[in-house]
Structure 1
Amino acid sequence: MSTLTTAHRPSGAAPRRPYRPSGLTWTVLRLHRTALYAWGAALLIVAAGLIWMHAIGPGARAATGDCGPSGVFSSDCGFTKETAAERIHTYGLDLASACVTYLLYPVAVWAGAALTGREMESGTARLAWTQSVTPARWLAARLAVPAVPLTAGTALAVLLGNWTRRAGNGDLSGGWFNTNVFVSTGPAAVAYALAGLALGALAGLVLRRALPAAAAALAAAYVLHSVLDAFRMSLWPAEKVTGQAALHIPHGALVLERGATPSADGRSGIWAAYQPESHFWPLQLVESGLLLAVAGLATAAAFALLRRRHG
C-alpha cells in the first residue's frame, strides 16, 4: 500500500501537513492561553451558578412574600421568612456581582504583568519586532485579542446576572444604586474591564518590568474605581423636591440630601435631592463613556510611547 501511495504522488511534491493556525493573533492566544483558560473556566462557573440561582429564584420570592406594600422592604420580612433558597439566591447574586464589579483589578494586573510588562522585560517583544512585525501591530494585537473575550464574557455575565435577578425578589438582592449592583448590571462592567486592560498595558510599556507594572496597574485601577464610585451620583442631575414631596420620595430612589430652609413666616420648608431609579441608564451611559474615554486615552498614550521609543 505504501508503494502505491508513493507511486501516485507527484514527484517533488512535499507531503501534506494538517492545517495549523498561524499569525500574530494565534501567537498572542498561544502565549497567553493559561489566562484564556482561566477566564473561560471562571466564566463557566459564574454562568452555571447564575443559571442555577435563576431556577431557585421563584422559590426565594415565594418564601419572602411581597415584603410590605408595593414591594417596600420591611425590617421584619427578610428575617422572619428567610429560607435556604432565599439565602443562596441573595448571597450567590452578591458574589457574582462582586466578581463582575471588581474584574477591573485582575485584568489590569494581568495586562501590566503578563501582556506587556513581561514581554518587554524578557525581550520577547523586541524579538517579535525583528520578525516583520511592527511595534504598532504588535501592540494592537495584544490589546485587540484579549479585548474580544473580555467584552463578550463580561456582557454575558451581565445579561445572566440581570436574568437571575429578575427571577428572585429584587428588594432582597440590593438597591440599583449599590456599587456592586450598579456596575454589574449594565454596560459599565464591560467598560471597566476594557479600561483595566488599557491601563495595564500602558503600565507595562512605561515600566517594562512585570512586577512593578502589575503594582502600578493595580494602583491605577484602584484610583479609577474609587473616584467614579465617589462621584457616580453626581454624573447626572438629581431630582429636587420641596414640601410634602420631600417626605414621600419614590420607592427605589436614593436620597442624596435632605434639609430644611427657613421661610418668611418663621416655619421651615423641607427639601430633598434624590436620584430616582429611572436615572439608572443615564448614569450607566455617562460612567461607561468616561471609562471608555480613559481606555482610549491610555491606548493612545501606549501607542505614542511605543512610537517615540521604537519608531
Structure 2
Amino acid sequence: MSATTFSPRSGLTWTVLRLHRGSIWLWALYVAVTAGLLLWAWGPGTSGLGIIGVCSPKVATGCVAEGDTAGAYHYVLQFTDVLVSFLPAAAAVYAGGTLIGQELERGTAQLMWTQSVSPVRWLTTKLVLPALLLVAGTGVLVLLRRAVAAQTPHLTDNQWFTGSPGALSPVVMAMPLLGLACGALAALLKRRALTSAVIGLVLTVALGTLVGLVRSRLWPTETVFGSVEHGYPGFVGEVVSEGAVTGSGAHVADPMCGGDRACLVDHNVTGFYTEGHPPSHFWPLQLVETGLVLALTAAVVALTYRTLRKRVAV
C-alpha cells in the first residue's frame, strides 16, 4: 500500500472526504456541542455549586451539591453521558448504511474496484478515515469529562461506580470503533444499506451487552466481611455480590433474618460479606475493558476483510 493512501491529496482519500463531508460536519457539530456543554460544567457549572457535607473517598455519598447551578450541572452531565453512550450504535448505523452499504447497493464501489482502486485499499480508506475522526473527537470529550470530574471527584455524578464509568475512560474511544467495524461487516454481508444498518446495530448492541456482562469480572474483586452484630460491612465502590457467611466459610444468599438470632443460628450464619471493586480499581477495569473491546474490533475487522475477499473472488 502506498504511503499516500491516507493523504488528503490522494485521489481516494479526497473522494471519501468529499463524498461524506456532510457526515463530517455533523460529527464536528456533535463534538462541538458536547464539548461546549462539558466546558460549561467545568467552568460556570462547577463554580456555582454549593457543596453540602464532607467529600471523602471513603464515603459514597458524603457530599451533595445544592448551589445555583447544581440542577443544571447534574442534567448536563447526564445528558452528555447519554450522548456518548449512543456513539457505538450511531457508528454502526452509519457504516452499515451510508459509509459502505449504500455504495455497495448502488454499485459505485464495484465500479471503483474496476478502476485503479483495489477493494482492499477502498475498504481500508473507508474504515481508517472515520476511525481517525472518531478517536480524535471522543478523545477530546473524554479529556473534558475527566477535567469536570477532577474538580469535584466525590460527587455522585463524577464517581465511576455510581455514574457512567465509560464516559471517564478510553472505552468511550474504543466502542465506536467496534460499531464502525460491525457496520462494515454487515454491509459486506448484505450489500443493502437499510438492512446492513440494522444488522450492524444489532451486532454492536450484542457485543456491547456481552462486554457489559463480563465487565465486573475483568479484574479480581475485593471482599470485606461484617459480623452478625454489625451486619453488612461498609463498602465504597462497585458492589458485585453480597450475602451471608456460614460457619464453614461458605458464601450463601442472605436468609433475611434481620435481627432474629434464632433464624441466624438455624441458617448457620456467622457474618456477612460484600464483594466488589473499590475506587482504586477504576483504571485496571477500564484498561482491560478497552483492550477487550479493541480485540473484538480487530476480530470483526479481520472477518470483514475476509468477507471482502470472498465477495470479490465470487
- Which TM-score bucket, shorter chain as reference? 0.7 to 0.9
Equivalent of 1:257 in 241, 264, 270: 241
Partner of residue 65, structure 1: 52
Cα distance per residue 1:22-43 (max 9 Å; x no partner): 4111111111111100000110
Distance 2:171 2:44 in 1: 27
- The Cα of 1:200 is off from its aligned counterpart by 0.6
SS across alignment from 1:204: helix
SS across alignment from 1:65: strand
Partner of residue 274, structure 2: 272
Cα distance per residue 1:153-180 (max 9 Å; x no partner): 10110000111122346323153125x6
- In 2 relative to 1, CA 246–132 (structure 1 residues): closer, same or farther, beyond 3 Å? farther
Contact conserved, 2:182 with 2:300, CA < 8 A, in 1?
yes
- The Cα of 1:222 is off from its aligned counterpart by 1.4
Partner of residue 54, structure 1: 42
Is 1:41 the equivalent of 2:34?
no
Is 1:305 the equivalent of 2:292?
no
Is 1:29 the equivalent of 2:17?
yes
Between the two proteins, what is the percent identity of the paired residues? 37
Counterpart residue type for residue 38 of structure 1: L
How many residues are paired up?
A: 286
Partner of residue 94, structure 2: 110
Partner of residue 259, structure 2: none
Contact conserved, 1:257 with 1:274, CA < 8 A, in 2?
yes
Equivalent of 1:214 in 184, 193, 197: 197
Cα distance per residue 1:197-236 (max 9 Å; x no partner): 1111111111000000011011111112222223211111
Contact conserved, 1:60 with 1:89, CA < 8 A, in 2?
no
Task: Identify the structure with the greater helix proportion.
Answer: 1
- The Cα of 1:87 is off from its aligned counterpart by 1.1
Partner of residue 130, structure 1: 114
- The Cα of 1:144 is off from its aligned counterpart by 0.5
SS across alignment from 1:177: coil
Structure with greater Cα Rg? 1
- TM-score calculated relative to the size of structure 1: 0.84
Distance 1:246 1:136 in 2: 62
- In 2 relative to 1, CA 71–93 (structure 1 residues): closer, same or farther, beyond 3 Å? farther
Equivalent of 1:160 in 144, 149, 170: 144
Distance 1:283 1:225 in 2: 15
Distance 1:28 1:48 in 2: 28
Contact conserved, 2:153 with 2:159, CA < 8 A, in 1?
no
Distance 2:55 2:294 in 1: 41
- The Cα of 1:72 is off from its aligned counterpart by 3.5
Is 1:234 the equivalent of 2:221?
no
Distance 2:61 2:135 in 1: 38
SS across alignment from 2:271: strand
Counterpart residue type for residue 291 of structure 2: G
SS across alignment from 2:155: helix
How does 1:70-85 map onto structure 2 within 5 Å? 72=59, 78=64, 82-85=66-69
- The Cα of 1:68 is off from its aligned counterpart by 6.5
Distance 1:267 1:214 in 2: 53
Structure 1's unaligned 5+ residue stretches are 1-19
Moved more, 118-127 or 285-294: 285-294
Contact conserved, 2:182 with 2:201, CA < 8 A, in 1?
no
- In 2 relative to 1, CA 172–57 (structure 1 residues): closer, same or farther, beyond 3 Å? farther
- In 2 relative to 1, CA 267–310 (structure 1 residues): closer, same or farther, beyond 3 Å? closer
- In 2 relative to 1, CA 187–85 (structure 1 residues): closer, same or farther, beyond 3 Å? same
Partner of residue 120, structure 1: 104
- In 2 relative to 1, CA 287–71 (structure 1 residues): closer, same or farther, beyond 3 Å? closer
Contact conserved, 1:205 with 1:306, CA < 8 A, in 2?
yes
SS across alignment from 1:173: helix
Distance 2:179 2:215 in 1: 18
What do you get for the CA RMSD once the two structures are aligned?
Answer: 2.4
Distance 2:99 2:20 in 1: 8
